Chains A and B, each alone.
Chain A
Amino acid sequence: MNEQALSQQSGRNRKSRARPVSGRAGRIVGRTLMWLFLLATAILTLFPLMMTLSGSLKTGAEMMTGGSLLPAKLQFGNYGEAWKQANFARYTWNSAFVSIMVTAGTLLVASMAAYVVDRRDFPGKSLYVAVQASMMFISVGAIVLRPQFDLMVALHLNTTLWGVILILISAHSSTFFMLQGFFKAIPRELDEAAMVDGSGFIRTFFRIILPLLTPGLGVAGLFAFRHAWNEYILPLVFTMTNPQLQTLTVGLANLRYGSSAAMQIHLMMAGACMSILPMLLAYIVANKTFIQVTAGSVKG
């Protein structure tokens, strides 16, 4: 504490001495450096995306031999070709279906559980919370795919996308903790008032509390949606026997190996550009509220 106070002191001294000499100049240099840093980072961030865009407009041979930044001639036909070859409509539909169901399912399952855990006491509550917490931290990798798959075969869910959806929903522990944090912020008096008015537990939850949770659900939902939309290994393994069930990520990665065994990176890139759009849209829609709202989630 003493040291801190000292350093504060000396800092103040140094600063007050320095100010008259180079204050404004220093500030300008600082701002310039800051902007250089911001712009450099932005360029580095965008570079691969720009390369994807430019690659999506090149011919296959141009892409393979490489070297050029921009396509010699814009090949807009790649988009049509990718759409057709990757069976894009099908894959996009599969991806959208999986992502939407996972988002809705995760939010429903996690919010109900988080509500009970936050509002009520019941035997085994701490055990339940401990299990959910450990689910977040235990990771044994791809080995779980096999028992999960066997289970889905037993339930006859392996030939549909429901298997993938259920497995993704089952990983809802982080959403659970996120939403629990949000519930804490909603005063209990509200529940009680509703109960006094004769609203039952279930009705209170769906009609009164859940609408108040909308910001939290928005953030958690966006995370769940993004996770499901970009998931690769799970649908890859689960749809190996059913190409018509492949999601966009799997279909796109497969586009590398075209119908005639040669790589078609240009088509894959065209597909990638198209596949980004829905997520970008979701982000723009949620963006306004997104940042402000995440605060609670992280703290929770």
Chain B
Amino acid sequence: MAIPLSYNLRNLAARKTTTIMTALGIALTVAVLLSISALAEGLRTSLETSGHPLHLLVMRTGASAELVSAVTQEQYGVVKTKPGIAKDASGNPMASLELVTVIVLESPENPGGINVTVRGLTIAGLKMREGARISEGRMFTPGRREVVVGKGIAAKYPMARIGGKLQFGRGDWEVVGVLDAGRSVANSEIFCDLAQIASDQNRENGLSSILVRAENEVSMQALIDDLKADRRLKPEALSEKAYLAQQTQSAAPVRAVGMFVSVIMAVGSCFAAMNTMYAAVARRSAEIGTLRVLGFSRTGILASFLIESLLLSLIGGLLGCLLVLPLNNVGTAIGSITTFSEITFQFAVTPRIMAVGVAFALVLGAVGGVFPAWSAARKQILTALRQV
């Protein structure tokens, strides 16, 4: 049995303007934090849903990304005959030789252009990407200068729509289809025939990587060990999941800046809450004295003002969630440092992230409220009564 909550709520309502201003400060802080988290979460799910659990990626020793890797046709020949590789319906090993390069595409937001990954692959490679399907148009025809674009690319770059022409290598490439790969990174890539782009770029024997599917989890590790031990290859071989997880680090700088901004805002809004609560304590000094005379304890006073501060920050936290909710599923893109190209993905404002945001707001309220509440509790009854 303590000082009723309605006392705090009505006091918050009574000083409407300060309450709204303070809550808004907290709301903006939470909104910044939530945007950063939603961005990180979106990127994470995008990269996570991309990798097949049984896929592994073979690259040249020391290569940190496909773009800087090089493998030869002979090495591909060695890799695909290794034991433990899954076979497709017609009994062919599921191993895909791929070539990765980067082109610059212009968009209205970035007239200067942005790096986009172009991936050359064969039928084998397309078969290994079961999660992706053509949502518009058709698949490229091997031997032709045709490409299909990830839906993220199609949405962002006007020149990359069906019927459009992309210029790279030795000439124009026609966009014939759009690929929907769910939330995966394939949405941010352009696909074309391996032989066509390899000759275009004079890289018939300087390809990028080999994607391999293991039969099962047990053979996966054995396959990695086998590949790494092979002197003819001396490759970098790692699971596709692990490879993509490395790429997530490309969001780290954005996250760091975001965190830095939200920490500064947090300090600011925490002080604002503190200021508001100190003012409330000062204004209600006589009420504090009266409550004590009625028999409420110092602890009761402390709790009441702390709760008031928490309520204030709760309003701010919920407001912050409302502010970022429209961001949910909004597409965005982030430059990847290791792949030198761009990954498009969606903000993911998940309930978990919002809960963290509200909790963060409550922490701000607690930190901002504890000192004023403590000062209210410490007052002597007569001193409190005398201050009007």
Report if A and B associate in a common complex. no
